[in-house]
Chains A and B, each alone.
Chain A
Amino acid sequence: GAVVSQHPSRVICKSGTSVKIECRSLDFQATTMFWYRQFPKKSLMLMATSNEGSKATYEQGVEKDKFLINHASLTLSTLTVTSAHPEDSSFYICSVDRGHYEQYFGPGTRLTVT
């Protein structure tokens, strides 16, 4: 299957600071990646669709100025949580759309805002 990496796997930041999470498609050139957020023991919530070379498409209710997404190359998408607050603490997961109706997921990033 596809190899998708995320960095960092865990990050702790102070309230008011920004943190960047990277999602890399290691063996596939991905024009489309997705960013999800998962709360403890809950389902995944799609935050946005990351499109290479263009602006991300955000789901309703997701603040685009708070969750900045950049998809500058076919192998890298980044999610920056700006001015983080404790309520932003969550598990963030990216996925790569590889076609054939399949998405392959990264291992996730645990963000804790203190």
Chain B
Amino acid sequence: AQSVAQPEDQVNVAEGNPLTVKCTYSVSGNPYLFWYVQYPNRGLQFLLKYITGDNLVKGSYGFEAEFNKSQTSFHLKKPSALVSDSALYFCAVRGLVTGGGNKLTFGTGTQLKVEL
């Protein structure tokens, strides 16, 4: 079975500073990895994905993530944080659902708080 760990419940960063939100994964076979963002009382918005290819994946709103196979990590990064980036971030890995198909297994989420 696949799993995702987000070791930090909350990350605080000053606006303009770089941010990193950590994610490690465990999965059999090739990992399909995702980052989603959730604003209060809203659904999840897709940020980026890693399927294959370059280890550095660029996504929406200036976010990027680096796939590291040896460390089984997929950390989310942004060079310069904005206050509007404050939200709940989920890392996810794709695997098999009961009876076939594919499902996402989510980490527990990391609350990002960007302050002036």
Contact = CB atoms under 8 A, between A and B. Distances in A.
Interface of A: 1, 4, 6, 32, 34, 41-44, 46, 49, 57-60, 91, 93, 95, 97, 101-108, 110
A60 B103 CA distance: 14
A104 B46 contact: yes
Contacts of A44: 44, 90, 104, 106
B22 interface: no
A59 B104 contact: no
Contacts of A107: 42-43
The binding surface of chain A is classed by DSSP as: strand
B51 to A, nearest CB: 6
A6 B109 CA distance: 23
Nearest to A9: B41
Given A43-B108, A60-B98, A105-B36, 12 more contacts: A34-B103, A42-B109, A43-B90, A46-B104, A57-B98, A59-B97, A91-B41, A97-B102, A101-B34, A103-B104, A107-B43, A108-B42
B53 interface: no
Interface of B: 32, 34, 36, 41-46, 49, 51, 90, 94, 97-109
Contact of B107 (A32, A43, A57): A43
B44 A46 contact: no
A46 B41 contact: no
